[in-house]
Structure 1
């Protein structure tokens, strides 16, 4: 049987004609180049089906167009080119194209004090659409950090004060005795609770953006929080991490405000949303805060 005699079910007449907003494929395995790394990704690719009389789209054409992403670093320009190829291959059928890429970016991060370093994984998602020749691109990413509760810290300090009064009441204070007391569990009777937390971002960029400044964004976020989770550590790093947590007490509201103020200073960003999740160690539920921001272009 040759190609001319193969049945073409898609060309058969429809019982009911109706345009569709999005038709395509999800979860396509794909290697991409991002930030100098070749990483395994999953792609969702689709187009609108404007011609309600057409049975369907040409999914193989979308699949083949994704080959453009394999050997060229992922940029907004490249994503627009892929979307244009989607539409060029569906002329007369589609006016809108969509491409979403999910991956995990690995960054090697140094320890706080020691010369150690280790890899951290950052979930990322890049979403681009070309709708009636208008291009839009946005980036989602997550950053993990530690958060120590200010209320819990204050309550712990009060208990330590009470213990100090109980242990040294009506006694002359000697420097050596107080110093020794501070180094015991008898003295430090309580510690504040902290938890691993997550900040989730959706960022829209200016139309003329030439590359995705993801590493810059992650650096800004981790600097603003001050307590990014660590990889390989020595005791000196663990102590420095404890100090960072003690100097960066924060409710989820505090973290959301810090991040909003920090990201608003980045010129490439046109708008963003941030969701902060503190996975409570005190409660069986999470504490959550949302914030959004849009650049005033007036």
Structure 2
């Protein structure tokens, strides 16, 4: 009886295997066989965590022995490891499916891209320092800079965004999205690497924040949880296919010194939130807002209210 059951089970598994194999042959786009190259998700995540250690020395596990005496050698060793690993992953992403000499040429290009990316890390770190200070100054619950770096998921999400954005600007495929989706999975903050974000930006709490690819955000902007900066509609080409990438601006522009409160939704590439404006919680915006304007929603009367900011009081 047992032998018969095992035999029947084996036959059923053979049938299932055959059906699975048929799906492989039917759609080559969803499998990579015969040694085709793809960047490794696990290796990209390992690399990005190494870069975070470079950005915030001494803050993460494994860096307990860093001191001023060995800082130079520690930084050089870590930088070299990142350079080697990043070159390999960038080459794979630039040349998916390449073999032989074609891949060798791509490795040379990938090394240049990797070095150019790494040369911008000092600038990125200076941006992150401003983001951290904005979080510390802007949140009365922040007890110290150390707490902000270690315990605020939004700071790590912004850090990962800024690193992914540098690769995005260099036209590296796949890897920027692997980084941004890693941040999305870890922190619940979804920032497309193509978004252009200015200095001293603070995402408070952050859970559920969505920032689209063509979104532009100025300096000193504060964003609370569940804010969506999205597209109002999607343009299509003559054959009805969605136009992808940055060819058409789909997401809003947020100017300097704007505050976006929890749950507000701002949609559309032509939508501009003027400097110094405040968008209240759960407000839906699809039209531009002038500078220094406060938009709120009165749930009791089911109506939107607009104020000039100098007339607005939180008291």
Q: TM-score, normalised by structure 2?
A: 0.24
Q: TM-score, normalised by structure 1?
A: 0.26
Structure with larger RCO (C-alpha < 8 A, sep 6+): 1
Rg larger for:
1
Higher strand share: 1
